[in-house]
Amino acid sequence: VAMSSRNKYLIGDLRPQATVLRRAILLSQKNVARKNISAASLKAQVRQLVKTLPAARLDYVEFFDPETLAPVRMVTRGTHMALAVFVGKTRLIDNARL
Protein backbone atom coordinates (compact mmCIF):
# COMPACT_ATOMS: atom_id res chain seq x y z
CA VAL A 1 0.00 0.00 0.00
CA ALA A 2 1.39 3.37 -1.01
CA MET A 3 2.19 6.06 1.55
CA SER A 4 -0.92 8.21 1.64
CA SER A 5 -3.04 10.13 4.10
CA ARG A 6 -5.96 8.08 2.80
CA ASN A 7 -4.53 4.96 4.44
CA LYS A 8 -6.11 5.99 7.75
CA TYR A 9 -9.49 5.13 6.20
CA LEU A 10 -8.39 1.59 5.35
CA ILE A 11 -9.34 -0.29 8.49
CA GLY A 12 -9.90 -3.97 9.16
CA ASP A 13 -10.11 -6.11 6.03
CA LEU A 14 -9.92 -3.08 3.72
CA ARG A 15 -6.17 -2.55 4.06
CA PRO A 16 -5.11 -5.88 2.47
CA GLN A 17 -7.56 -5.29 -0.39
CA ALA A 18 -5.79 -2.01 -1.21
CA THR A 19 -2.87 -4.02 -2.61
CA VAL A 20 -5.03 -4.70 -5.67
CA LEU A 21 -3.60 -1.57 -7.34
CA ARG A 22 -0.06 -2.92 -7.15
CA ARG A 23 -1.23 -6.36 -8.23
CA ALA A 24 -2.99 -4.83 -11.25
CA ILE A 25 0.21 -3.03 -12.24
CA LEU A 26 2.28 -6.21 -11.87
CA LEU A 27 -0.28 -8.17 -13.90
CA SER A 28 -0.08 -5.58 -16.68
CA GLN A 29 3.73 -5.48 -16.61
CA LYS A 30 3.94 -9.28 -16.88
CA ASN A 31 1.54 -9.34 -19.82
CA VAL A 32 3.40 -6.62 -21.70
CA ALA A 33 6.78 -8.24 -21.01
CA ARG A 34 5.58 -11.35 -22.86
CA LYS A 35 3.94 -9.65 -25.86
CA ASN A 36 2.07 -6.60 -27.05
CA ILE A 37 -1.55 -6.82 -25.93
CA SER A 38 -4.68 -4.85 -26.71
CA ALA A 39 -5.72 -2.24 -24.18
CA ALA A 40 -9.23 -3.70 -24.18
CA SER A 41 -7.94 -7.14 -23.22
CA LEU A 42 -5.69 -5.79 -20.49
CA LYS A 43 -8.48 -3.60 -19.10
CA ALA A 44 -10.71 -6.68 -18.91
CA GLN A 45 -8.02 -8.56 -16.98
CA VAL A 46 -7.62 -5.68 -14.51
CA ARG A 47 -11.41 -5.43 -14.14
CA GLN A 48 -11.58 -9.17 -13.34
CA LEU A 49 -8.78 -8.88 -10.78
CA VAL A 50 -10.53 -6.04 -8.96
CA LYS A 51 -13.85 -7.92 -8.99
CA THR A 52 -12.28 -10.71 -6.92
CA LEU A 53 -12.21 -8.42 -3.88
CA PRO A 54 -15.48 -7.75 -2.06
CA ALA A 55 -14.79 -4.15 -1.05
CA ALA A 56 -13.00 -3.05 -4.25
CA ARG A 57 -14.59 -1.27 -7.20
CA LEU A 58 -12.69 -0.12 -10.28
CA ASP A 59 -13.17 3.57 -11.05
CA TYR A 60 -10.95 3.61 -14.14
CA VAL A 61 -7.94 2.02 -15.78
CA GLU A 62 -6.24 3.60 -18.78
CA PHE A 63 -3.19 2.83 -20.90
CA PHE A 64 -1.60 5.81 -22.61
CA ASP A 65 1.40 7.13 -24.51
CA PRO A 66 3.77 8.87 -22.05
CA GLU A 67 4.67 11.60 -24.56
CA THR A 68 1.23 12.59 -25.82
CA LEU A 69 -0.92 11.20 -22.97
CA ALA A 70 -3.23 9.85 -25.68
CA PRO A 71 -4.92 6.50 -24.96
CA VAL A 72 -3.44 3.57 -26.88
CA ARG A 73 -5.16 0.60 -28.52
CA MET A 74 -2.13 -1.67 -28.21
CA VAL A 75 -0.12 -1.77 -25.00
CA THR A 76 3.62 -2.15 -25.52
CA ARG A 77 6.69 -1.74 -23.33
CA GLY A 78 6.98 1.88 -22.27
CA THR A 79 3.23 2.48 -22.30
CA HIS A 80 1.98 4.08 -19.10
CA MET A 81 -0.90 2.86 -16.98
CA ALA A 82 -3.11 4.79 -14.56
CA LEU A 83 -5.87 3.40 -12.41
CA ALA A 84 -8.21 4.33 -9.58
CA VAL A 85 -9.96 1.85 -7.33
CA PHE A 86 -12.42 2.43 -4.52
CA VAL A 87 -11.67 0.22 -1.53
CA GLY A 88 -14.65 0.71 0.68
CA LYS A 89 -15.32 4.45 0.42
CA THR A 90 -11.66 5.35 -0.10
CA ARG A 91 -10.51 6.14 -3.65
CA LEU A 92 -6.93 5.04 -4.28
CA ILE A 93 -4.90 5.94 -7.37
CA ASP A 94 -1.66 4.66 -8.86
CA ASN A 95 0.27 4.72 -12.11
CA ALA A 96 3.30 3.04 -13.63
CA ARG A 97 5.38 2.63 -16.74
CA LEU A 98 4.92 -0.83 -18.23
- Going 35 to 69 to 63 to 1, the CA torsion angle's sign is positive
Question: What confidence score (pLDDT) does residue 12 get?
Answer: 85
| pLDDT category of residue 3 using cuts at 50, 70 and 90 | low
Give the orientation angle of helix 39-51 with respect to helix 20-34, to 10 degrees: 150
Hey, what CATH topology would domain 5-97 get? Answer: Pantoate--beta-alanine Ligase; Chain: A,domain 2 (3.30.1300)
Question: What confidence score (pLDDT) does residue 5 get?
Answer: 59
Q: Can you give the length of the chain in residues?
A: 98
Is the model's pLDDT at 9 over the cut of 80? Answer: no
Model pTM greater than 0.85? yes
pLDDT, tens digit (0-9, with 9 covering 90-100), for 25-69: 999 999 999 999 999 999 999 999 999 999 999 999 999 999 999
Alpha helices in 1-98 (DSSP H): 14-17, 20-34, 39-51
Query: ∠ at Cα 92 (60, 68), nearest 5°?
Result: 50
Q: Would you list the domain boundaries of the chain?
A: 5-97
Question: What confidence score (pLDDT) does residue 13 get?
Answer: 87
pLDDT, tens digit (0-9, with 9 covering 90-100), for 68-82: 999 999 999 999 999
